[in-house]
Amino acid sequence: MNALKALRSWPVHKRDSLPLALWSAAEIADAIGGTASGEFQVSGVEIDSRDVRSGDLFFALKGEAMDGHLFLDKAFANGATAAVVDRPVDHPHILVADTNSALEALAAASRDRSTAIRIGVTGSVGKTGVKEAIFNALDRASRGATHRSVRSYNNHVGVPLSLARMPVRSHYGVFEMGMNHAGEISGLTAQVKPHVAVITTIAPAHIENLGSIEAIAAAKAEIFEAVMPGGTAVIPADIPQFEQLRDAAKAQGVKIVSFGASERADVRLLDAIPVANGGSLITADMGEERVCFSVAEPGEHWISNALCVMATVRAARGDLGAAGLALAEMGGLKGRGARLDIAAISGKALMIDESYNANPASMRATLRQLGQTPATRRVAVLGSMKELGDFAPRFHAQLAEPLAEANVDFAVLVGEEMTALVQDLGKGAGGALAGGLSFAHCDGPAEAISALEEFGITTGDAILVKGSNSVGLGRLVAHFAARN
């Protein structure tokens, strides 16, 4: 097919007649009830002056300790076209009474003007990775007309910001929702009003604030409260909280699609075969059809994640073939499974970067992944798991079993909470365990770097780095990556 015929065959959609600019001054003013200083158009929305790019609209948000108005000059120096402010300024602007409320109003206007199918994603483990996989799957089929929240913009500021950034031409919008306390998901899902509400799994993350696994499930199930009429809940079938989630979705009149290996799953795993690159070849029963596809990401948890993605794509009326291709090509994210070749004695070693977050379920999953990774030696750098409250000693001590099952040769345990694991192992810091495992207990990333360097990284080693983000193990990953 020549170029002219290719252009003629390109599908035409009524969205193609919509404006290319993200927002005009008049549209913003109308949406947020403000007064524009003049005419302008913007191509993006930003709240951090350091991240502003040419053409952005900068929201000067006000918090308890910071006022975005102090950074207006920096935002315009970085290329901002205009700002949303609560006082007159010597820059193009929209004047409002409250900038924080204005961001929520612009988010609502963005949601309401678009015909995009909106997907909300939450869960105790894997929500960012699953959100990215859903995005890649739908973006491939929609030829770039899929929008999603970037990074982990999943809180009371990140969700409205992500909504405000959604182009009116979008076919799909994928939004991550996080929480630390009951009631938070409720507020976020009321903003997104998803057509598809996804829960990846339930695990004891944030149990310090919620008190029980049942309370965590109830907090996550708040995502069903504002699902659009005729919408769908995508839930895991293999967890003890399945009935609780199912009943919560039913109470909201939401259709239910479950995924997993259980016979009750609507999207059910039939077979998963490991492949050479560390991923899996999956066969799944989708009810009316069976599909076979590859997943590039290694680990048993990504088999479940892939089933979740397929269930979501089907619920969103997406292309399952394109979703399978996207899963086959997707690589790990920084801090969430990225695999790095780092310098080692006489060659290279593998570092698995899981430094962004950790809870008991994800710790076990990634240690299993490490145990399945071909390596000369296996090293685990494990940081404390936060927000576990009184449950922390028990959950940290329970890591002894997955460490042994993964045949770890050396462990670097970072943070005060790891004391419980050290005590359970029955040795002082740096002691040797039965089976050949030795370990070091460190206060922070700097000491952990020294312990790993003293141990000596050699060719063929596989090093897992996993911990809550506040532990700072991303610094360790950056240190060893920079040596290349």
Which pLDDT tens digits describe the chain residue by residue (484 residues)?
566 665 556 566 665 555 568 999 999 999 999 999 999 999 999 999 999 999 999 999 998 888 999 999 999 999 999 999 999 999 999 999 999 999 999 999 999 999 999 999 999 988 999 999 999 999 999 999 999 998 779 999 999 999 999 999 999 999 999 998 999 999 999 999 999 999 999 988 778 778 899 999 999 999 999 999 999 999 999 999 999 999 999 999 999 999 999 999 999 999 999 887 778 999 999 988 999 999 998 888 899 999 999 999 999 999 999 999 999 998 777 888 888 999 988 789 999 999 988 889 889 989 999 998 999 999 999 999 998 988 999 999 999 999 999 999 999 999 999 999 998 876 544 444 444 578 999 999 999 999 999 999 999 999 999 999 999 999 999 999 997 6
Are residues 467 and 355 in contact, defined by beta-carbon separation less than 8 angstroms? yes
pLDDT digits (tens, 9 = 90+) for 65-98: 889 999 999 999 999 999 999 999 999 999 999 9
Indicate where the chain has its CATH 3.40.1390.10 domain(s): 15-96
Tell me what pLDDT residue 347 has: 87
Hey, what are 393's tokens?
């000693």
Tell me what pLDDT residue 80 has: 97
pLDDT digits (tens, 9 = 90+) for 298-317: 888 899 999 999 999 999 99
Are residues 402 and 434 in contact, defined by beta-carbon separation less than 8 angstroms? no
Indicate where the chain has its CATH 3.40.1190.10 domain(s): 114-329
Q: Is 263 exposed, middle or buried (0-12, 13-18, 19+ CB in 10 A)?
A: exposed
Pick the CATH number of 15-96 from 1.10.287.40, 3.10.310.30, 3.40.1360.10, 3.40.1390.10: 3.40.1390.10
pTM for the whole structure: 0.83
- Cα distance between residue 7 and residue 123, in whole Å: 42
Tell me what pLDDT residue 14 has: 60
Tell me what pLDDT residue 433 has: 45
**CATH class of the 114-329 domain in this structure:** alpha beta
Widest CA span in the chain? 73
| Fold topology of 338-482 | Protein-Tyrosine Phosphatase; Chain A (3.90.190)
